[in-house]
Structure 1
């Protein structure tokens, strides 16, 4: 009897787990943040020719800044994830929004390639690290039950795709109406809208005076565990290819089309179509991730991309072929995001989800760096994008093979550690 009384007293003295935010609130605010942050960055390819022609720079100069941006995004994403996992996403989102506005202003006003690379590359990359998927998915993982997590990640990824559909035509109109510099300043002001949206993602467990949740692993232990786990490494390698393909196409396709005599309006509409169809593709990937093995989804996506790009290069280029390519490629565009991140959460739990997602995404951004930089470098050397297109096909086949042996089962830990995760 006495032992039972002591047990009840001990249990009553434990800190009460903080209440969760409502799923509707998390999805609405998270989706709106991703719509803005990803919508702005998806249109950067529209600025390639106006900036290089006005400033007298080569395409490689612009491509290098974009490549640095993607690398900066990936690198800062790891540290942003660490901060979000420890102190909550709100602070990271506010800081990212301020950096985004400042970086876009710097992109508009930079007089030299070096300053352009610093603002467009390093600053905007750090801003994207604090306002995009890894941070939002950390909130989703902590606030939404596991049985709906993959679906919720699909919704957030679809929001980013809708941002592309919504924002890219708007950005094209802003450039036409205001000029490329003023258009960037307008986007900088729009980026600050992320700050009020971040208030809807203030998690109770990270609010002032809240009792911190017990942590079974340090950051270092979680990272070492992940790097020693084969499936995590394979997911990371596959995500490299995703970054290479989508950023090369997103940044260089407008110039590729113009080089072949198609109008800028075709490019703007093509990028918008990618965003529109990716709404359906990412949502479908999230839903299917609750029902079939996520590695199956990833293998299909990578191999399908290789086929679609091959067909695009072999058929005669026309507005119709561009629109068909954009629609089909759009359905595959960011549909890797929900199954990849949901697999990470399923294997390791959500305790360090933002950091681990940030680490996987760093590989994505190394691929992005190479895709966008090689596009500019090889174009300036050969006058063509052909080598990079075919490289994207080969890498797509390899990425599918890499994801075949991924295991999705939760990692086995000591009982206390497993419960805390």
Structure 2
């Protein structure tokens, strides 16, 4: 009895240490990324770069992130999170430093596009939340990933005003260098993730359900590619990336066009981060009690409806705050739900890789959302078309998620037989 109590206490302490380290890494990576929309105007006005090019650089990091994520996830699955997080944080910081010194478009694209994309693939969900998913028990997995995501949102609350203040008082370059330093501080935290993972394996056996689904990676990917629910989840996640990247990149500029107060764009992004803390935890909690694909579908419906109302109704300071709050509540809650759904169906052995493949679809959407926003604005002088597309995409994503079969692969195979 005493031994059981000690083991349970050790597991809880390990899990909380894991969640804390994961939250800090995500705070640094996602918080810094949330600031990019603040630099579009300064890069355009101060350095004479076209909005389309700046939007392309931001969009490219999303695309590179997506293509690199399956490889980063597979590396973490095989070698652990520590080396992957450390390399990613250093690469991310180098990309920001290059962008800070950029005097031409190619330097901005190389730094803010290529290097940042590689760096963030190693310091975000596919590596960090996959580690949390492996350590947490099936009963607590959704809540644990939701808590890590919620803690990670703290960076989105803090980094936007921090970057804004440094930029106003010291300039764009100083702001980007400061953000790079924050990422370097997060580099060693991958060690905590690996230690927690080793302690968890030593103190608890692998569940039988995970053992039955522990196929080799090649067989797992082949099976997933034929799984209708996995394909629907992958298609639906495209919408999430499209909506979020467009809003994060272009909302500040859109509000300036609407003659909103200076600084309201930064406030809106910070509010999205604040309410994302609540939304990520809430979605993780709901995912532990309801069918995760149903929660995802309703999230997309709510997000699409909120976008439509925001565009159709008059734009005021109050409407911006309400919109930011609703977006925050539905912002990244999709990530623990998607991770949890993949783990439920396929197990956790290759969770980083399987989520990485789904996340590639998300980032293809992110690329188009960020880049098309700039292209449509430069072409038409308005964001109206792209706002309409983001609203309709929410309905489409909901329709894709409702019919997903969420039974574990072993149960689904027996039912088919």
TM-score using structure 2 length: 0.91
Distance 2:338 2:382 in 1: 33
Distance 2:126 2:226 in 1: 21
Contact 2:37 2:249 in 1 (8 A): yes
Mark the runs of 5 or more structure 1 residues left unpaired by the alignment.
1-18, 416-421
Deviates more, 1:104-113 or 1:240-249: 104-113
Residue 199 of structure 1 and its aligned partner are, at CA, apart by 2.0
Distance 1:95 1:188 in 2: 13
Residue 196 of structure 1 and its aligned partner are, at CA, apart by 2.5
Q: How does 1:56-67 map to 2 (within 5 A)?
A: 56-67=48-59
Give the corresponding residue for 1:378.
376
Give the corresponding residue for 2:241.
243
Distance 2:135 2:57 in 1: 36
Mark the runs of 5 or more structure 2 residues left unpaired by the alignment.
1-9
Distance 2:412 2:265 in 1: 53
When residues 258 and 282 of structure 1 are mapped into structure 2, their CA distance, relative to the original with a 3 A threshold, is same
Give the corresponding residue for 1:401.
399
Give 3-state SS (helix, strand or coil) of 2:289's partner: coil
Deviates more, 1:135-144 or 1:66-75: 135-144
Deviations 1:136-192 (A, max 9, x none): 112112211111000011111112322111111111111111101111011111110
Q: CA RMSD in A?
A: 1.9
Distance 1:389 1:233 in 2: 26
Give the corresponding residue for 2:409.
411
When residues 289 and 413 of structure 1 are mapped into structure 2, their CA distance, relative to the original with a 3 A threshold, is closer
Deviations 1:57-79 (A, max 9, x none): 11100110011100111111110
Contact 1:87 1:206 in 2 (8 A): no
Contact 1:77 1:130 in 2 (8 A): yes
Distance 2:247 2:339 in 1: 23
Contact 1:88 1:203 in 2 (8 A): no
Contact 1:72 1:121 in 2 (8 A): yes
Deviations 1:276-333 (A, max 9, x none): 1111111110001111111111111111111101111111111111111111111111
Q: How does 1:78-117 map to 2 (within 5 A)?
A: 78-117=70-109
Contact 2:135 2:196 in 1 (8 A): no
Q: 1:227 aligns with which of 225, 228, 233?
A: 225
Is 1:348 the counterpart of 2:346? The answer is yes
Distance 1:220 1:259 in 2: 50
Q: How does 1:17-416 map to 2 (within 5 A)?
A: 22-203=14-195, 216-412=214-410
Give 3-state SS (helix, strand or coil) of 2:410's partner: coil
Moved over 6 A (4+): 204-207
Residue 111 of structure 1 and its aligned partner are, at CA, apart by 1.9
Distance 1:146 1:264 in 2: 46
Number of positions where the alignment pairs a residue of Structure 1 with one of Structure 2: 393
Residue 115 of structure 1 and its aligned partner are, at CA, apart by 2.0
Give 3-state SS (helix, strand or coil) of 2:140's partner: helix
Give 3-state SS (helix, strand or coil) of 2:327's partner: helix
Give the corresponding residue for 1:418.
none
Distance 1:151 1:206 in 2: 21
Deviations 1:65-107 (A, max 9, x none): 0111001111111100010001111110010011011011011
Give 3-state SS (helix, strand or coil) of 2:408's partner: coil
Contact 2:82 2:189 in 1 (8 A): no
Give 3-state SS (helix, strand or coil) of 1:202's partner: helix
Q: How does 1:9-20 map to 2 (within 5 A)?
A: none
Contact 1:88 1:206 in 2 (8 A): no
Give 3-state SS (helix, strand or coil) of 1:263's partner: coil
Distance 2:401 2:196 in 1: 36
Give the corresponding residue for 1:12.
none
TM-score using structure 1 length: 0.90
Residue 204 of structure 1 and its aligned partner are, at CA, apart by 6.9
Deviates more, 1:163-172 or 1:387-396: 163-172
Contact 1:52 1:58 in 2 (8 A): yes
Residue 218 of structure 1 and its aligned partner are, at CA, apart by 2.9
Distance 2:399 2:412 in 1: 32
Contact 1:375 1:388 in 2 (8 A): yes
Distance 1:108 1:178 in 2: 12
Give 3-state SS (helix, strand or coil) of 1:106's partner: helix
Residue 352 of structure 1 and its aligned partner are, at CA, apart by 0.3
Give 3-state SS (helix, strand or coil) of 2:315's partner: coil
Distance 2:408 2:70 in 1: 22
